[in-house]
Structure 1
Amino acid sequence: MKLQRLRVEQFRQFRQGLELDNLQPGINLIHGPNESGKSTLVRAIRAAFFERYRSKSAEDLAPWGDSSAAPTVELVFEHNGQRWQLDKRFLKRHRCDLLVDSTAFSGEEAEEKLAALLGYQFPKKGASKEEHWGIPGLLWVEQGTGQNIEKAVLHAGGHLKSALNNLVGEVASSGGDDVIQAVEQQRQELLTATGKPRGDYLALVNSRETLQQNVSDLQARVDQYKVQVDRLGTLAAEHEQANRERPWEAARSSMQRAEAKYREVEALQEQQNRGMDSLKQLQQNLSLLQQSQAHWRNQNEQLEQRHQSYQGAKKQLEQEELVSPELVKAVESARSHYQLATGAVQQAHLRDKRERLQKDRARIEAELTRLKQSQEKARGIQTSLDDARKQKQQNQIDASALLQLKQTQRELDDANIRIQTVATRVTWNLAEGKGLTLDGQNIAGQGEKLLLEPGVIEIPGLGSLGIQPGGDDLASLRRQLERLQQSLSQQLAALAVESVEAAELKRGRLQDAEAQIQRFDELLKSLAPGGLEQLNSVGADLESELLARTAELEALPAAALNDGDAKSLSLVESELKQAEERLAEAESRQRNQETLLLKARHTCDTAHREWQRMQDELNGPERQQKMEALTRDIAAVEKQQAELESSLKAREAKISEARPELLKQDIERYRATAEHQENAQQKRALELSEIRARLEAWGAEGLEEQCNEQMAELEHANRRYLELDRRAKALDLLLNLLKEKRQALTRRLQAPLQKHLDHYLTVLFPEASLEVDENLMPGKFSRGSELGQMAELSYGAREQMGLISRLAYADLLQEAGRPTLIILDDTLVHSDADRLDGMKRILFDAATRHQILLFTCHPENWRDLGVEPRDLEALKLQGVAG
């Protein structure tokens, strides 16, 4: 199928019509910017084939806002050597005409013939949808849908299988389908699609499992019954033996004996602790007595040390007393120098104060001179300022009134000009000695006069001539002139001037006065910012300050006025600071010396008193008596200590021999043994009663009879289960064999399509493969170690795989003798440069077998496609020009 011409008119944005002719058998590249009509042309082709010409759902085909439009599509294409021409109109005056060579078809007959040719169908009612588009829906790719191929293949599946059957012959019979269907139906009675039991088979499986569980539970209970009978005999014998022997009583007797021994050991330990406390007290008392004895013995040594300390302190005191007189002299000398430096500083301050007062007086006198000059200038400027203000007051004039006066004067001048233009002009040129009378006035010689009102010329000896100025305009102008003259006079009187020129002159004098006021005011502010009064006040303050400085200068002592060879203030202050530092240093040494002297005197006195006190104490009679008593006490305490240590050692041996820690463990062991044996006997009694009750209950249930009945039912269920299991497995095996046979036949159907897919795919991915399933749907994609479904690829890769699959379907349809036309609307926009280059090779190869309409808004991406692009905007301009 080769589309040769397409024309649309009153179709969406193409109100005036657009024709796309001379379409080539291979690739046709149509480009234009967004909203230029590319998708509209694709919609027109779809509408021509898919939409019923009588459809009421085609309102979207009409231009916006034009309810009277009749969208029209004309197509001319060639197929199998025949020329097909389709003319289709929607909405208003709808019709459908198809001409195949010389045979004509119209209406629904023409639409059904096209549907049979291309492999699609019409809806029973309403708009055409994706599920009706068949083969064209697969090969005509709308904008943004290139990656979605599954639904298109599903809707075109019947037509594709039909084309495959034509290629490879009918490889499957309906009888085979019936057998597979019958086997599937019988298998479905026993198994689910995943091979799980269902129906009677599932019920039997569940019943068999229940019976097996019941038999297992009953057998376990029978075995447990037998075990409980055996346990009852053993437990009864153990309980009887324990009642006879009563081993817990023997354990308690052993515990009591161990407790008695442990109490005896505890008494010994208590005595030992008291003995240890007594020993500690004796040891402490002995230590104190020995310390006292050592103290008395060391007192003689301390007496000699005290005497030596006293001699050293006395020598240090004598040395300190020799140093003090020299320090007193140094302090007096430093104080004398300090007083002299203080007097010099005072004299220097007086000199500096005199010089400062003299400078202040000179400064104040200079400021007074400048201030008096400023006062004179300020008074002159103030006089000029007062004169300018008077001039301003005398020449006050309202600016708006002046503007109104000037406007009235201009209007009056304009009225005079107009009235001179329309008034009656009387001119005369009389001979010498001749005269006339005009409105009672004599006229002679040459002259002229404008008459605004009727006038009379009297000619002596002849009579009179009446002159009547004509026109209503003259009277109106005269009234306007009078009104303006009156208004002008009133305005001049209000402004107290004789003329407009006088008013302008008065306004000029006012502006000059205002400028002078501003200038004088600024000058006065620069000289006296606070005014003349403040300037006078400042002058009075300066005069008062001058008098004060003069009086202060005269009051200085006469000595301050004698300069002589006086030193500078900074020098005498430096000398004063040095004298002060030397005085402070001398006083500090004196204070330190006094402190040392006091310390030395105090140390000497203290050392003398301590030596004298200790000497008196050692020479007393009581000291010898105390030393003898102390020696006797030490001997007595040492004897008690030896006796107590011997007693403690003997008692410790007895305690160690008794092993109290083992006695304590024996008590705990015997107590635990008695408790465990009593508890064990109680548990045996309780277990005996429970076993007897349980055995009585199980004996009443008849467990062995129930177990035999359940085993019989289980055996019957097993026989029935084996029958259904064998049947289910046989049906499952038979169905798998039939499906494998059908899959082998399906692979024969898939082989031609797989061949075309591999032809295109290897151009883009040399080592890749794309498999199709039994429904001819592209699915598993593999490349090297990569394996996955086509739907898992990236957006751009899915778009490329979708186009490759569509081209393979087109090759398959062409081999089967079916018409093909490929339409691509802005496809491959998500491909990178390398992939796009590979897709161009694929499209160029497919164009040798199919006609391709490629619409794009990026013509720069297709420059190397090897075809001449067609500019849609240029075609639209040609349509307008035509």
Structure 2
Amino acid sequence: MKLRRLQVEQLRQFRQPFVLDSLEPGLNLIHGPNESGKSTLVRAIRAAFFERYRTSSVDDLRPWGDSAAAPTITLDFEARSQSWHLVKSFLQRKRCDLTIDSASYSEDEAEEKLAELLGFQFSAKGVSKPEHWGVPGLLWVEQGTGQNIEQAVEHAGDHLKSALNSLVGEVASTGGDELIDQVRTRWRELFTPTGKPRGDYQKLEREREEHQQAIDELQARIRKYQEQVDRLGKLKQDHERIQHERPWEEAERQLEHARERFRQVEKLEQQQAQEKETLAHLQSNRQLLRQNQEQLQSLSRKLDVRTAELEKARRELEQTEARSASVASNIEAAKAAYEAAARQVEQARLQETWSRLEQDIRRLEQHNQTLTENLKSAQQYQQALEQAREQARENRIDAAAVKALKNTEHQWNEESIRSQAIATRLTWQLEPGARLALNDEAVEGEGERQLLESSRLVIPGVGTLGITPGGEDLASTRRKLAALRQTLAEQMQALGVESVQQAEQRVAAHESAERTLQHTLELLKSVAPVGIEQLLADQKEAESRLRKAKTELQSRRAPEGPAGVTDVASAEAGRAKAEARLAEAEAEERKHQTELLTRRQSRDSANSEWQQLQNEVQNPEHQKQLRKLATELADIDRKQGSLEAGLQAREQEIQQAHPTILKQDIDRYQRSISNLRQAQEDRQRELRDIQVRLEAWGAEGLEEQFNEKAADLEQCNRRYQELHRRARALDLLLSLLTDKRQALTRRLQAPLQKHLDHYLSLLFPQATLEVDEHLRPGTFTRGAELGQIAELSFGAREQMGLISRLAYADLLREAGRPTLVILDDTLVHSDTDRLEDMKRILFDAANRHQILLFTCHPEKWSDLGVVPRDIQVMKERLENPG
């Protein structure tokens, strides 16, 4: 099968017709970025073949937001040496037409022809599923499913076996299968499908295990009885000895001694903590006194430093004042040079202004013309915009309320149909001239009426008949109809419409007006981004600027500059240099003035600080404070030394007592007392339990029970061995027959295995891949490695899935069946080396099959040997054919 052309229209993102044609008979590489439409094209091919044209379960094909779309797919392909042309439409325009050479088919007949050609089935109801896809489901790989092949092979199994039988003929006899079935039936009487015993075989095996378990339990209880007798004697001896020695009393005495020693250590620790607080207080006072002493002693040193700083400030001020004359001379020269350069720039600018005015006039004339044209277009768009807004206002309606109205109408219609089905039916056929009255309404001729409530039928000359329809359902239906009729009327009144159809028409008209409004608004913004008023103001401003420029040009005359006047750039460069020199001179002057001010302030500050320190040092109170601080520090040092000596001696005494060890001793003795008493109580409790237990066991007659169970086990063993020998014989016979049948199956699989080995040798040299009796790839062997495909890495499973599909395609082609391979973003998990091998495999398979490879990574396939086709470029060409 060779696909030549694909066209889609109104399908997902392809609202306009999109054509993919001139497809090669071998390999085709189609690429584009994410969301460019690759998967949509693959979905279109699947829908064209798999989905019933009349199904309503393909909403995923509809363009977003377009409820009136009719997705249409057109395919041209070759198969069986014939030209096939398929056109299939869904949803709003359901249609399927197929032309094979000159023969035409339509609707269901056309779809059956497609299913017969490719080997798949249609879903009886709803969207098509993988179990219906057959051979295409095996060869058309969806994005992200390349590694999953088992179910695809299972769904296409019948078609593959049919192709194999057409190549090698029927190699298996039904007689052998019947014999295997008979043996397997008898084998299943004794075994479950997993090979476990069942029925009488399982029952005897379970009874034998139960008897053996009972015997083991009795033996264990007998041994336990004997062990308990020995344990009872030893417990009595230990209990009497411990009760006589009473070891917990010695532990109690040691506990009390340890507690007394710990109380003494706690008193020492309390004294130590109090004296540490006193020492900390003394150290804090000493630090404060020392800081005050250092502060008073530092005044003399600061006075010497301030004297030196004052002399330095005076010298620096004199040096700075000496440079004032030179700085003033430099700035005067720089100002004169700058004024000369500024006059030169003025002359150059006069010449430049004349040229600029001429250029401005030409530019303003062109700009004014553009604004005038845009203003005219904007006024036209504004008029269309107002018309669209008026239409939107006239047709504005609540879409949710319309939806609720439609729902109410639907409920009313359903309830009306239901009422007609359960209502009392009154029919009449009267003689000419005869007349009746039904609920005061004249009845004549013949007719029919459905009654939902009590009615009166008046027969002239006879009397009145009362007709009362029965049933709670009828009364309920009548109430529902009345309520729905009232709700429907209220909703239509609230919306201001006379019918549901009118409401839907207003919704459609409002949506159309909104679209027109948005399109016109975009056109208006393209010529007047900030509005017509601003555009009009810009146009008037442009005209004003044009008139002003012309007036200014007429009032000016071209300046006749003196000789030596240069252009503006050169003049400005000269002025910039002069300005830079002036700026440097001014900066130098500012720096000099700042430095002069700074020197004077430094001198004044240094003199003020020196005078203040001089007054403080010569004050008599300063000397008195120094002497007092020295006396207080000496007293604190003496007290601190005495406290530190006492603390050190007491700390040594506390450490030698080891308070932590004393705590541990108290805890150890407490636990020992508790453990010794508890152990003696446990011995006494165990003595009572063993005595009671031995008395109970002695009354059970354990040995008599043991002898009875041993006899039951021997009888059960004899019956079990009989069935066991039969089960082993059936198992052996079934295994031999199955091996023979598998040999025949391998002969059937040989053509498929040949194609599979061909591709596998290119990817994994010296490796083998076997297929099972259902033609599914199973055991994979490479060197010493042996396992199933499912155990391989994700990338390797994806590669094995692809080469298996290509082998199935070769098998189908050899059997004369049509093939087409579609790969959507496959092999994305392959490393560089494996991807190179897979390219060789694809290129080789393309000699026998048409392959459509869709990808969003064209750079990885640049060496595939085919010209890539860019979906994005094709879409742009269709949108812009010029």
TM range (shorter): 0.3 to 0.5
| Rg larger in structure | 1
Normalising by structure 1, we get a TM-score of 0.45
Normalising by structure 2, we get a TM-score of 0.45
